[in-house]
Every structure is written in structure tokens, then in C-alpha cells.
Amino acid sequence: MIFDPLYMAILVVALGLSGIVSFIVNARFKAGQKVSIYSGLTGAEIAKAILADAGITDVRVQETHGFLSDHYNPLDKTLNLSKEVFHGRNASAAGVAAHEVGHAIQHAENYFPMWLRSFLVPVANLGSNLGPWLVIIGIVLMGAYSQTLGHNLAVAGVVLFGAATLFTLVTVPVEFDASARAKKILSRLSIVQPGKEYNTVSGVLLAAGLTYVAAAITALMQLLYWAHKAGLLGRRDD
């Protein structure tokens, strides 16, 4: 099954999508770093200003290691910004910092898709790792031991992997909503100016959002593949 042409084709498409999107994200971010913002604020200062505007006082803004490793952690309520964003005074830093604050605002408002994504994390981790193996074991058992047991295991594997796929699908609206919030707040607080600054921020955030779209497409293709192998989409051809 490892050398299944269909699965190899899916891997090639997934790697291609990932590579293209990664290139776009890096190119947009680096281009945005060259666009200074009129307010002159750093990413950290922007994050703190937006948090204060939203009335959120229990989120800590801190620097973290790694390029584009920026994230909001709802467990300890920390806004973690990479060096480039934390200290940056440019459109890329402004966009990413505001985007992460968007997640903090979602958390404070109990935004349902974000709650659902957090709820799915444990089963998604289990499903992405265990799901495919259950399908493979189920297929082996169907051919060598018990049709019923094998089928049930394969279906369980597909369901588990389906939970992981649902996680990637829910992530898409969460990320795009955070970006929409970021652009509105940056504009309303006059942190970025209309025209080149705002357009650059929009381009950076759109590129970042495409990474989650690519991940969702890849997960869907894999889910359909495992469902096919489990015999849920018609007769298996192996």
C-alpha cells in the first residue's frame, strides 16, 4: 500500500501545494518587511495596543524563537511573537501581530469555530496517527481472517482520520476570521495607513491563510483515499 500509485499521486500533490504556498508566504512576508508603517509601532506594541482596545488584560505578549512561529496559546493566554514580528516596524509584523491578537479576541468572545478546533485537538492528533494504521490492519484482516472485524477496524480508522480532517477544515474559517479582525482593527486604530500599507498587510495575511487551505485540501484527499481503501466508496480495487 505504501507504493500505491494513487497514494503516491496524493503525496506528490500535497508536497507540491505545500511547497508553492510556503514559497508565497515567505515571499510575501519578506516583501512586507520592506514596507514601513506610518505609526512606527513594533509588532509587540501593536499587539498590546489592540489587546487594550479590546479590553483584554489577561493575555501576556512575549517573544518566541523560530521564524514565523507566531501563535496564540489559549491554555496559558500568551501571545507568542517571533523575533521578526516582535521587534518589526513594518507591514508584515503589523499584520501577523494583529492576526494573533485576533485569536485572543476569538478566545475571549468564545468564538464557536475556535472552541470546536480546541475541542478536536486530542482526537485529531489520535486520528492522524492511528487512523491510517487501523484502515491498513482492517484491510489485512478482511483478506486473511475476519471480514466483519476487518471492516469494523477499517471504518473506525476512517472515522478517526475524519476527525483529524474536520480539524483542518475548521481551522480555515478560524484563521480567515482572525485575519479579517486584524485588518479592521489595524485600519480603525490607524496603525496602518490606507493604500500600500493596508494592501501589503492584506497580501501577507492572505498568503498565510492559504497554508491552511492547502492543509485542508490535503487532508480531504487523504480521507477520501482511506475511505476508498476501506470500501466505503465502492468496491476496493486492490
Residue 58 domain-assigned (yes or no): yes
Q: Residue 233: what pLDDT?
A: 81
Q: Residue 234: what pLDDT?
A: 65
Residue 234 domain-assigned (yes or no): no
Query: 95: which residues sit within 8 A by CB, 6+ positions away?
Result: 32, 179, 182, 183, 186, 200, 201, 202, 204, 205
**Quick one: which of 213, 215, 218 has its CA closest to 176?**
213
Residue 171 domain-assigned (yes or no): yes
3 state SS of 80: strand
Residue 235 domain-assigned (yes or no): no
Helices (H), 33-111: 43-53, 83-87, 91-108
Q: Residue 7: what pLDDT?
A: 87
Structural domain total, the chain: 1
Domain span at residue 145?
5-229
pLDDT mean for each 10 residues of the chain (238 residues): 80 94 96 96 98 96 95 96 97 98 97 94 92 90 80 92 96 97 97 97 97 96 92 66
Q: Residue 237: what pLDDT?
A: 52
Distance CA 117, CA 213 (A): 15
197 labelled catalytic: no
Residue 150 domain-assigned (yes or no): yes
Residue 236 domain-assigned (yes or no): no
Residue 216 domain-assigned (yes or no): yes
Q: Residue 183: what pLDDT?
A: 97
**Quick one: which of 84, 69, 24, 71 has its CA closest to 207?**
24
Residue 69, CB-side half-sphere exposure with 13 Å CA sphere: 9
Candidates 45, 63, 84, 100; catalytic one: 100
Residue 28 domain-assigned (yes or no): yes
